[in-house]
Amino acid sequence: MSTLMDRVPLPVQGLALHAVFALPQPLRRVLAGPPIRRDGLELALDAQLLLRMMALTETDLTRGTPEEARAHLELTRGLIATPGLSGVRSRDLDIPAEDGPIPARLHEPANLPTGSPLLVYFHGGGWVIGSIDTHDGICRYLARNAQVRVLSVGYRLAPEHPFPAGADDALTAFRFAARNADALGADSSAIAVGGDSAGANLAASVCLQALRKGPRPVFQLLFYPATDATTRRRSRDVFADGFFLTDDDITWFLDHYCPDVAQRGDPRLSVLLADDLRGLPPAYVATAGFDPLRDEGNAFADRLREAGVPVVKRQHDDLIHGFVSFLNIGTRFREAVSEAAGALRTGLALRSRANVVDIFRPTA
């Protein structure tokens, strides 16, 4: 259903959004309304205000058909996208694959020495929407602030390419990066994988598949990962609606990506159900308190720890799903991603052959 805000040009909507977030804190609180508390947690003001602004335009991740949902996300990403960051250069390339080339984008911090760490990143979007363009901001941010090269991967999307196409493309992309590390300017012994939501699922899937046949990632950076497509956990009921990602969205995404319910227990999709997680790389697992995926993400971190995998389990109690996409709004989202960038930088520096002094030099 069309709203008044839908008829306002997107550039004007963007200006209005940023103007609201520039207001003094007391005024932002008035606009956002009384603090929202649920499950013993209090939502951050930045998150609550963003949700209030989204409600004005009836923002919906799964609006219409998959094609329409993709187009809507691409159209609106400029409203909250991170502006081009200085000190990072980018170039597009294709990754060869049996079913056709996989588009990718390499982000390189200026003056980063050859032979430095690399992060292979998979975007979120429920395996159905999203692209290397919609997640350009988070990849550039991680490249600059973690001082690593970032290879962003445009894997095939469902329903045109259902499970396990996304998982297959993710593994192909990682193996390409490992084989071509020199050409990418990277250290083959310091290649990590990461992603957000469905992309984090793909990153964890790569780690699991690589156990059987190397090479293996040395670190996994997981933002609010989807880890179990078979079980409905408590957080999915507690935060079913009103916090960006909804219960209906999750159903819509899974029905498109893996319509065969019998396949949903496959560990390439439900990584939490893998028989043995021993030998997986160290992980930083960030979840959001007000996220229906919270409990399965935390459960995966717990299983990693039980398997002897070094893991940092970080629940941001006051945030919502999707926070890596909101870097340019307020300050709270950026704080969370900055923490993750630090963890990535440290984890990869410990594995890299590059000079640690250079890795940790001050950034511009």
Give the active site residues.
197, 291, 321
Type and span of the H or E element at 92: strand 88-95
Rounded CA separation 336/24 (Å): 22
* Residue 86 burial (C-beta neighbours within 10 Å; 0-12, 13-18, 19+): exposed
Question: What Rg value do the Cα atoms of the chain yield, rounded?
Answer: 19
Provide the CA 23 distance to its chain's centre, in angstroms: 29
Provide the CA 303 distance to its chain's centre, in angstroms: 20
Q: Which residues, 6+ apart, have CB-to-CB distance to 18 below 8 Å?
A: 328, 329
Structure tokens at 259: 């319509």
Q: Where are the beta strands (DSSP E) in 123-253?
A: 149-153, 186-196, 220-223
Rounded CA separation 192/283 (Å): 10
